[in-house]
Amino acid sequence: MGGLGGRRVLRLNASLCPPSEFERAEWARAGIAPVEAEAKTVEKLVHLVAGAAGMFALSVSPPTLVVAGMDRGRGAARGAASLAGVRHP
């Protein structure tokens, strides 16, 4: 299901900044399997995060409406792609 204890966790910008092998290895080490997601509008992002336990976002700052849309959320993390070992082509 991609979450913590069955709760859904999202990895945003999965198409624009695909997860690196390093990032995937860290997920495995932490025992999580985030759902890889991409959305082009705030409305679609709000729909995606609804019910999620948390989200990761790389190279983007999620709008306040998106964070507020995490009705069950416990955390949101934002980072630079370079910190996750992501290399852009």
**pLDDT for 9-21, tens place per residue?**
888 888 888 888 8
Q: Is residue 87 part of a domain?
A: no
Beta carbons of 79 and 56 less than 8 angstroms apart: yes
- The answer to whether residue 22 scores a pLDDT higher than 50 is yes
Q: What sign for the dihedral angle of Cα 41, 77, 55, 23?
A: positive
Domain that holds residue 67: 3-78
Q: Is residue 10 part of a domain?
A: yes
Q: Is residue 86 part of a domain?
A: no
Q: Is residue 83 part of a domain?
A: no
Mean pLDDT of all residues in 34-53: 87
Q: Is residue 74 part of a domain?
A: yes
Q: Is residue 12 part of a domain?
A: yes
- The answer to whether residue 80 scores a pLDDT higher than 70 is no
- Closest alpha carbon to 3 in 48, 53, 45: 53
Dist CA 41 CA 45 (whole Å): 6
* Number of domains making up the chain: 1
- The answer to whether residue 57 scores a pLDDT higher than 50 is yes
